[in-house]
Structure 1
């Protein structure tokens, strides 16, 4: 685990998650609060497209750097799927939370004086149990789509996952404001210091992401149950399994990477 922290590519990936999540939250929240007629159906279309297209653009920009998780539920799903190490998952989640706070802070600073909202996720006429179920099921679908479209074992055209996720926002905006991303929910909550029922927007998505990974890896498209290989990935990252090396921060002439 310590060795992964010494690679420059790791810190580039962490920075990409901070920057990417900041832009995602800024774009999505700006769309959700920038229209006075928020009670009309066109608002839901605009917000759903804003989030979906923002993720599509960011995926093209940083997937090769960090994988473009931009969501703690996705990072947890990738961890359960044994495609990233424990330490990478932890740093990614912290980076995503930091990016969400920065993005929310920027929106707070540039929003018009007449707007007093910050796109806070809240329950709209549903109970806590219903909200948990909605967040769980929609995040499960989203992470399942992420795992499937990013699966390098697949052949042929796999489509655009981010654009397919737009349907999730269409469905959920009216009920919970469509969390399905704990970082996106955390940013506005911290900036406004409003954490009422906030646990729902962590518990639902994280449980959904973990279950999606189990379903995909062990039932739908099994990767195998080699515990030793999985332990190597959890401890040292996927590179430990495929045998790739990464120069340490000391330079390529320094100590060679050990796997």
Structure 2
């Protein structure tokens, strides 16, 4: 009696498992590792969407964080200048446009993701000043012992324009502090400043603070956050797929939940 039929019968239950393993191996072979650097303003929205993208695409995201501008080592322009291997950047639109003009990013790949308003916060439990009017905001700045703002887009606006509009440039000398790299909310939470202003989307995830409100409409500055493919990206096709995913209208709700105004919503 031949043993061949018996051996075939015993091997048949293994076939589905072998096929599944082959499919998994094929999928792994086509999965891409996408290196992304995001600035803080869009960081929480990106974190909320990252797992969904990985499940839908099979790709793996390697994520890091850094300011859109400034002189710190983690700033996105500094990373690109020293040739870090990055596929996609997410950052303030004006700063992204500058890098695009310099040839650091792939032409035509920019996608606008959201606008971000500036908000202010105090340490949890501290009195909340009324900043619903320009005069109220002015008083909040003047009454604070120390005011913190970032070294990125919102901080540049506060330092170069807002305090001039409020007429408090001289009064804030020695009281207003630009904070490099560290989120302003953390400075406020640790008691190193009693009042701080930054993008609302950057303040919302910070524990130990309470957001007082947005800057009044007549002195508010909306900051655009955009994304683009780096010119020498190692995963250009996967990077483009990620850009399409992040800018899709179906993800507007997840972006809005982080304090941003999705670009898809502003176009309606």
TM range (shorter): under 0.3
Greater helix proportion: 1
TM-score, structure 1 normalization: 0.28
TM-score, structure 2 normalization: 0.27
Greater strand proportion: 2
Greater Rg, structure 1 or structure 2? 2
